[in-house]
């Protein structure tokens, strides 16, 4: 756990959020929110699965979070990869195919256009929990990907991280990964899975994703923490605010005085913490909120 996360946790403990007080300040006044946005010097947009769901990306959370007969979260672990790397690669090949076919929606595009227009006079940072690459494809430049990226690989031997958009990433994964509940296991030999091409390495590649049981990269978390600590305004977009450490970011920003606005299809456990709440699909609410 890096220093910035420890600092955030300590601050939350020292200064517990007063839910009743914050809830009375909550508003859906878009005009007033735009005034705060216009006056802000540093803005953070914190996005989660909800914005990508509008582009057809499965969230893999909750009761419907299954791929074949497996709970998706059970495959997103180092233990699962050690036990059956071919099965895990089939799962991620499927996810890569879905993400590659998806298109950035109006919410992604509104964020990218806002950054393009105001990124010189304001510091605009997008922090995402998503791994699908849709923010980047929409045109966002100052992007922090907390949980990695489906289109990057990491060598289990030399640790090199490389971008890779090949579909399939290797011949053995062609026509594999279908979410058919009748398919059990995977028979792809390990030697046929993606391997490092660096000279004298040839290590097995894994998706560059932060799996359950793994810590976020300290440098990434530090960068995100710094942005959250200095922002004037924070937009919470399509995230349930229950996945840590990101779940602490916006409430902590609100506690220290930053203006926080939540954009979601329904209230979340953190909604009472924030100043503004705008209900509806991000693809409809964000273009309005981020336009002149």
Taking only the tens place, the pLDDT of each residue in 25-50 is 568 999 999 999 999 999 999 999 99
Look at residue 63 in the predicted model and tell me its pLDDT.
Answer: 54
Burial readout 161-182 (b: 16 or more C-beta within 10 A, e: otherwise) = eeebeeebbbebbeebbebeee
| pLDDT on residue 62 | 55
pLDDT of 14: 33
Active site residue 15: no
Please count the other Cβ atoms lying within 10 Å of the Cβ belonging to residue 243: 14
Q: Which run of H or E residues covers position 209?
A: strand 205-209
Would you state the pLDDT for residue 15? 34
14 by Cβ neighbours in 10 Å (0-12 / 13-18 / 19+) ranks as exposed
pTM of the model: 0.89
DSSP state of 72: H
The answer on whether 185 is annotated among ligand-binding residues is: no
Q: Is 225 known to sit in a ligand binding site? A: no
Residue 50 assigned to a binding site: yes
Low-confidence ranges of the chain (pLDDT < 70): 1-26, 61-64
Exposed/middle/buried for residue 257 (C-beta within 10 Å: 0-12, 13-18, 19+) = exposed
Residue 283 is assigned to a ligand binding site = no
Which pLDDT score is estimated for 214?
Answer: 96
9 is in an annotated binding site: no
59 is in an annotated binding site: yes
**Exactly one of 147, 195, 208, 275 is catalytic; which is it?**
147
Helix (DSSP H) and strand (DSSP E) numbers for the chain: 12, 11
């Amino acid at each position: 756990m890096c220093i910035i996360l420890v600092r955030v946790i300590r601050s939350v403990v020292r200064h517990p959020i007063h839910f009743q007080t914050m809830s009375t300040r909550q508003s859906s006044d878009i005009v007033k929110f735009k005034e705060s946005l216009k006056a802000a010097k540093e803005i953070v947009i914190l996005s989660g699965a909800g914005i990508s769901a509008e582009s057809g990306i499965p969230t893999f959370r909750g009761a419907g979070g299954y791929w074949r007969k497996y709970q998706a979260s059970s495959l997103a672990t180092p233990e699962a990869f050690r036990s059956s790397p071919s099965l895990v690669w089939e799962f991620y090949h499927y996810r890569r195919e879905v993400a590659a076919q998806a298109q950035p929606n109006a919410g992604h595009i509104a964020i990218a256009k806002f950054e393009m227009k105001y990124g010189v006079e304001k510091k605009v940072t997008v922090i995402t929990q998503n791994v699908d690459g849709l923010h980047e494809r929409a045109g966002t430049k100052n992007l922090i990907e907390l949980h990695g990226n489906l289109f990057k690989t990491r060598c289990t031997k030399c640790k090199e991280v490389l971008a890779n958009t090949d579909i399939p990433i290797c011949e053995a994964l062609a026509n594999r990964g279908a979410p058919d509940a009748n398919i059990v296991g995977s028979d792809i030999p390990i030697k046929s899975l993606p391997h490092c091409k660096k000279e004298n390495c040839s290590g097995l590649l894994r998706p560059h994703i932060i799996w359950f049981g793994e810590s976020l990269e300290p440098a990434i978390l530090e960068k995100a923490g710094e942005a959250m600590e200095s922002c004037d305004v924070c937009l919470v977009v399509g995230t349930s605010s229950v996945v840590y450490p990101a779940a602490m970011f916006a409430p902590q920003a609100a506690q220290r005085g930053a203006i926080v606005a939540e954009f979601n299809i329904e209230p979340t456990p953190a909604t009472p913490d924030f100043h503004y709440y705008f209900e509806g699909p991000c693809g409809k609410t964000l273009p309005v909120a981020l336009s002149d």
